[in-house]
Structures are given as structure tokens and as C-alpha cells.
Structure 1
Amino acid sequence: MRIGVDIRGLLTGKWSGVEQYTSKVLEQLLRLDQTNTFVLFYVSYRDLDQKLAELIAAAPWLRQKNVEIRKLKWVNFPLLLHALWKPLNWPKADLICGGLGVMWQPSPRILPVSRRCRQVITFHDLVFELFPQFYTWKSRLWQWQMSYPYLSRTADQLIAVSRSTKHDLEKIYRVDPAKIQVIYEGIEPSYFVPVGEPVILALKAKFNIPGRYLYYIGSLEPRKNVVAIVRTLAYLKTQNVNMKLVISGAKSWLEEPVFAEIEKLNLQQEVIFTGPVTESDKIAWLQGAAIFVFPSLYEGFGLPVLEAFAAGCPVVTSNVSSLPEVAGEAALLVDPNDQTVINEAVYQLCADKNMADELIKQGRERAKQFTWEKTAKETLNILLHGGK
């Protein structure tokens, strides 16, 4: 069979959870299946050919004999694609790819295919439907032109990364439950491997962190509720707990309240921003942290929680959306809207080493249940056999 894969998301220059998911699953698919042909599709515009070359250089597994790359020479302007591709339902991507049995899209994007080609789309979350107030008008315009409701109706099958996302698809878009299959994300084995004390000490010395620290990685958008972590740090200070807060990640929209809260609470010297980090540094930060604090208001999956588990870091996270589903009983679950509850949970872990050690033990066992190989096997079953 010829299996199409929409790799447009890998050529944006961004590296969020969706791009990580796409890369990890595709790598495992190519490792598992060296018989069927995988046809990677993208739209060639401006520097995207160069970005593709860079991607292939960084991912040698894309050079396998059963991999083809096909491109459409088109103006890659989202609103134009929305205005033409959706109403005209043309050009057909499967025909550009030389004929396909199935097209897999690792995230929802407008992409016409002919009736003879099955279309499988992975949905990660519907956060913009549930929390539109957390997005700028530009972000809302972007989400609108992605046409999630249309794609959820027209695709042959949907993959949801959690039962929570599946429930949202059913409730908000009225998708037939039989059309959706839940396939969890995975965790890299490297998170389980100790990096060594010298590596952690070197990172801490670089940012002048002499003692213990809380850790958060992700964007600063309002949905992530980073302001609550800042307030928890201030609370710890009132309880004579000497702790820094380390935040890793790139800048994001509507981030100003985080910096305003830091200034208001006079914590400028207590909160360290590392900026974006490599995966190896992220592992080291997690392994060296006292607690990973992740009080998000909504997650489609919540991969950072699993990464913290595997790295041996105790976790405080939210009791909403997919997070209880992913964390199980291996984390302290809190109401993300209750600052007092968040404060007390983090303080409890700071003060109770036995509890922290028990959560570390449970977290490692929990993380072992999620692998990218398992994700790819279940995805391949859908692509080849429709999940039967």
C-alpha cells in the first residue's frame, strides 16, 4: 500500500508538541514497516525546500528505500488555501502523490483527497473552542481557517490522543464515536536514563541556582496557568521554603500577566527563564527539579507530565481534561482554579520526602506504559486495516 503522510507541520520552523508527535510517530512507523511505501507530502513555497533538506539531514531514517517525497508547488498562504482548497476540494493530494490508499494527517489541516483515498486525521485538542478568550484575534483567525469542524466531518477516521479529546470531538462537533480511536502519545527512553549529577550542577551553575527549584516547561499562554505557579512560589517563601522557579520555553501570546505577577510579588530574582531548551537539557532540568508543577487549565494529552515521570521528578498537575487520564495515581492532582489547593500540594511535596519518593516510584512505572512504538503500531493498524 502507498501511505501518504502530510509533513507540512514539520516544515514550519516551530517545534511544539504536535511537531514532536509527528516526528516520533513517523520515525517509528518507518522502523516498523519497511514493506509499504510512505509518501511524504508538502507544499513547496519560498524556503520550504531548504527546510525539508534540513529535516532530512537531521532525520536519516527519512532516507529509507520505501520513502518517497512529493510536493505541490503552490503559494503556501493559509487563508488562500482555505479560500480555494476547501470550496473547490482541489487539487487532490493523493493524485499529486501518484495515488494513495490512505492519507494520514498528524494534525488537522485542509487537504483535499479523492474518494478512493481514505483520510485519517489526528486531533490533539479543541482548546480554542473551549477557551477562545485565551487567544488573540490572529490566533482565532488561524484556528478558523484550519476548519476543524469540516475536517472532523469529512475525514474517514479520526485519531484522538486521549479519551478527553475524543469526548470533546463527540460533544462539540457531534462526531460519531465509532469514527474516533484513542491512541496515546509516547515517551522517549532517554528520559529514564540518569544524566549524572555533574550535568545537573553545570546547568544550575549556569543560571546561578544554588539550591532546589520548581520546574515548568511550556508556553506562557494563559491556558497554561503559569501565574498560579508564580503565586505558589511566593507562598513557599512565606513558609520559609527556599526554592527557585525555573521556566523553560519560548515566548508566546498573552504572556504579559506572568511577568506582571513576578514583578508584583517581587520575585524577579527568584524566577529564572532559560528560554527554549534542547531535549537533553530538558531531561537534565527535570531530573534535577524538586517538583514539576503543571497546573494547566486544559491539555489534549499532557506529555510533559509523562516526561517528568520518566525523569524521576514528582508532579503536581491539574485534575481537568486529559491530565488525570495520563497521570493516573502517580501525581498530586489539584483544581487549577484553586490557588490555595495548588499552594498546599506543592508545599506538602516540599516537606514530605517519603511522599515525593513514592510519587517518583509510581511515576516511573506509569511512564513505562507509554511508548512511541506502541503509538506507531496502533496508528499503523488504522492506516492499513482501518483499526480492525
Structure 2
Amino acid sequence: MNIGYEAKRVFHNKTGLGNYSRDLVRILATYYPENHYFLYNPKKNKETLFTTDSSVVSEKLPSTPFYKKFYNLWRQKGIINDLEVDKIEIFHGLSGEIPSGLKKKNIKSVVTIHDLIFMRYPHLYSFFDRKIHYFKFKKSAKNADMVIAISEQTKADIITYLKIPANKIKVVYQGCQGVFKQNYLTEEKDEVALKYNLPAAFILNVGTIEERKNALTIVKAIKDIDTKLVLIGKQTAYFEKIKTYIKDNNLEEKVIFLKGLSSKELAITYQLATVFVYPSVFEGFGIPIIEALFSKTTVITTNSGVFPEAGGPSSIYINPENVAELKTEIEKLLTNESLRTEIANKGFEFVQKFNDEVIAEKLIAIYKELENA
């Protein structure tokens, strides 16, 4: 098959959507090299985020001066001519978008929708952004031949908010980068610990430091516990709220903020952590949970939504608004190494369902179903 991808995030997004897109292409090229994968990139990027040695992966840029200048118009419509020239049989929009005109050219289409957080928590988005997101996702989900949801939670939201029938939606979980599945030498771990001045034992949280991720609850929970907290992620206005609480309660020596780590350094930090805490209010999936489970680090996370789906039966679940409950669970784990090891080992067994081979197999099954429809 010749399979095309809306690949803007592959080449231009450093975080979640970009990682999803890059990993998807990588694992398909690895496990199913009999296909050819075309990555349609609207414009060249000054920074290289994706490279491949695979002969079955090709980057495609706008081919005319007009579309090189008006690349967003190319993404929405002009790309169809390129797809026809490249004999694309299936086009996959990796982040909620597909171009207009695919059906006229008899090109089957798939679109991945990661979450509808803007519908569940509209106060976190501007009026304009909500309208744009809704129009884009609704149109793509309606016009695509198949919709991929990254979790059962997202599938339920697509049915509820976008009114897409359940039989048109397939759940294919996200995995995580291979760097989180590797074992690192003691010397490598010592180097990262020294570089970032990491304590011998610490609580870890990874993700954008924003209101929805709810990191302030962790800070409050450890206030009277003899431990330290490492927060890794991009800082938003919510970060200032956390800093104010830290200052008011003299916690400057207990909370460490980090950002800009390489993927390998982040993976090692997961393995160095004593406990991973992720009390997010809502996610489409929650990749950091998967990263922690692959790292054999015990997870505490939210007891509702997608989190039990990602964390499995052995992780610890709490009400994300209940500081006292989180404090109790953290203390329980910090003082019981054998319990941490037992939970971590069970979590590692569970997380194998998110391995590359399983994900690739499910994606190819969808493509073949469309091809034969």
C-alpha cells in the first residue's frame, strides 16, 4: 500500500502530537516495510525533529511556488493533487485533520483524534479556539472513512460531543518512545543525577505545568513529608501559582523545577524516581503514565477518566482534588520498598499491551479493512 500522512506535527512539534506521529511512522516502517509511507510536510523546518534511514519513508513538500507560499491552503486542499500523483491509497490525518476532496479521488481516509478537552473544559480555551477546534474535528471525523481514538475515554467523547457512530471509531492506544524502554548504566544515571542535582529519592511529575495537570496538589501533599518533588515540563501562568504557594510555605528546598531535558535524560530521570505522581484532572490518554510504567516506577494517578485505562489494575488511584488522600498514598509507598517493587513489576507486565508491535498490527488491520472495503 501507498499510505499518506498529514505530517505537520512529525516535523514541527516537539511534544505529544509530534511524538505520537513520529512513533507511528517509525513502528509501521519497522514492522510493515512492504508498504510505502509518504509524509506530507507543509514547510521545511529549521530544526530537525525527524530522520529515518528507512527506504520506505518519504518526505513530501509542496511542489509549486504558490503552495510553498500558501502552505496552509496546500494542507487543506492543494495536497490532493500530490496524493494523486503519488498514488496514495489511504490518507491518515495524525492530529484531527484531513484535507477536502479525498473521496472524489477515491482515497480512503483515517483521522486520529487525541482528545476533546476543549469540549469538556471550555473555560481553559478561548471562544475562538473552541470554535476552530470543534469545526475542524467535527468535519474530519464526519468525512473520514474511519476514526482512530487513542483511548476508550476519547472514543466515548467522540460519540458524545461529535455525534460520530461507535462503529466508525477504532481504539488504538499510543505507545511511547523506545528510549523509555531501555536499561541504563549506573554511570549514565549518576551523570544525569549530578547534572540536574537530583536527590537520592524523589517524587516525579512530568508534563506541561498547567492548571489541568494539577501539580499544585502534589506540592501541597508533600508539604509535611520528608521527600522532594521534581516537576519537569513547560511552564505556563499556572507555574506562578505554584511558586507562590512554595514561597508562602517555605518549600523552596523541597521542589525542583526542570525543563529542556533530552529524551534520554528524561528516561533516566523516570528510572531514578522513587514514585511517579500524575494527578491530572483530564487527559485523552496520559503518555507519562506509560513512560513511568515502562521505567518500572510506581505510579499514583487519578481514579477516573482515562487514567485507570492507562495505568492498569496495579497502579495507585486517588481523587486528584484530595490532598490528604494523595499524601497518605505517597507516604505509604515511600516507606515500603517491597510494595513499590511489587506494584512496579505488575505495572511493567501490564504496559506491554502498549508495545510497538501490538500498535502497528492494529493500525495495519485498519488500513487493510479500508483497502478491502
TM-score (norm 2): 0.89
Q: 1:134–1:254: 8 Å Cα contact kept in structure 2? A: no
Residue of structure 2 aligned with 1:129, choices 114, 119, 123: 119
In the other structure, the counterpart of 1:23 is 22
Task: Single out whichever of 280-289 and 34-43 deviates more from structure 2.
Answer: 34-43
In the other structure, the counterpart of 2:188 is 199
For residues 149 and 134 of structure 2, the distance between their equivalents in structure 1, rounded to whole angstroms, comes to: 20
Q: Alpha-carbon deviation of 1:385?
A: 2.2
Question: Match of 2:52, as an amino acid?
Answer: A
Q: 1:246–1:272: 8 Å Cα contact kept in structure 2? A: yes
In the other structure, the counterpart of 1:350 is 334
Question: Match of 1:321, as an amino acid?
Answer: G
Q: Alpha-carbon deviation of 1:68?
A: 5.7
Residues 1:101 and 2:85 are matched in the alignment: no
Closer, same or farther in 2 for the Cα pair 1:114/1:283, shift >3 Å? closer
In the other structure, the counterpart of 1:212 is 201
In the other structure, the counterpart of 1:382 is 366
| Identity across matched positions, percent | 23
For residues 50 and 366 of structure 1, the distance between their equivalents in structure 2, rounded to whole angstroms, comes to: 39
Q: 1:43–1:76: 8 Å Cα contact kept in structure 2? A: no
Residues 1:2 and 2:2 are matched in the alignment: yes
Question: Match of 2:272, as an amino acid?
Answer: G
Q: Alpha-carbon deviation of 1:260?
A: 2.2
SS state at 2:339 partner: helix
What do the CA deviations read for 1:148-204 (whole angstroms, capped 9, x no partner)? 122221211100111111011111111100000001112445434331333333333
In the other structure, the counterpart of 2:38 is 39
SS state at 1:43 partner: coil
Closer, same or farther in 2 for the Cα pair 1:284/1:142, shift >3 Å? farther
Task: Single out whichever of 308-317 and 106-115 deviates more from structure 2.
Answer: 106-115
Unaligned runs of 5+ in 2: none
For residues 94 and 188 of structure 1, the distance between their equivalents in structure 2, rounded to whole angstroms, comes to: 31
Question: Match of 2:204, as an amino acid?
Answer: Y
Aligned residues: 365
For residues 58 and 34 of structure 2, the distance between their equivalents in structure 1, rounded to whole angstroms, comes to: 10
In the other structure, the counterpart of 1:363 is 347
SS state at 1:386 partner: helix
SS state at 2:14 partner: coil
For residues 76 and 255 of structure 1, the distance between their equivalents in structure 2, rounded to whole angstroms, comes to: 37
Q: 2:39–2:59: 8 Å Cα contact kept in structure 1? A: yes
For residues 212 and 266 of structure 1, the distance between their equivalents in structure 2, rounded to whole angstroms, comes to: 20
Q: Once superposed, which parts of structure 1, at least 4 consecutive aligned residues long, lie more than 4 Å away?
A: 74-78, 136-142
Alignment of structure 1 residues 1-388 onto 2, 5 Å: 1-12=1-12, 14-44=13-43, 48=44, 50-51=46-47, 54-55=48-49, 58-61=51-54, 64-65=55-56, 67=58, 69-71=60-62, 73-75=67-69, 85=76, 90-91=77-78, 93-97=79-83, 98=85, 99-109=87-97, 111-115=99-103, 116-135=106-125, 140=130, 143=133, 147-236=136-225, 241=226, 243-252=227-236, 254-386=238-370
**CA-atom RMSD, angstroms?**
2.5
TM-score (norm 1): 0.86
Question: Match of 1:364, as an amino acid?
Answer: F
Q: 1:113–1:119: 8 Å Cα contact kept in structure 2? A: no
Q: Alpha-carbon deviation of 1:358?
A: 1.1
Closer, same or farther in 2 for the Cα pair 1:356/1:35, shift >3 Å? closer
What do the CA deviations read for 1:316-357 (whole angstroms, capped 9, x no partner)? 011122110111112101111222211111111112222212
Closer, same or farther in 2 for the Cα pair 1:105/1:142, shift >3 Å? same
Closer, same or farther in 2 for the Cα pair 1:110/1:257, shift >3 Å? farther
For residues 256 and 170 of structure 2, the distance between their equivalents in structure 1, rounded to whole angstroms, comes to: 40
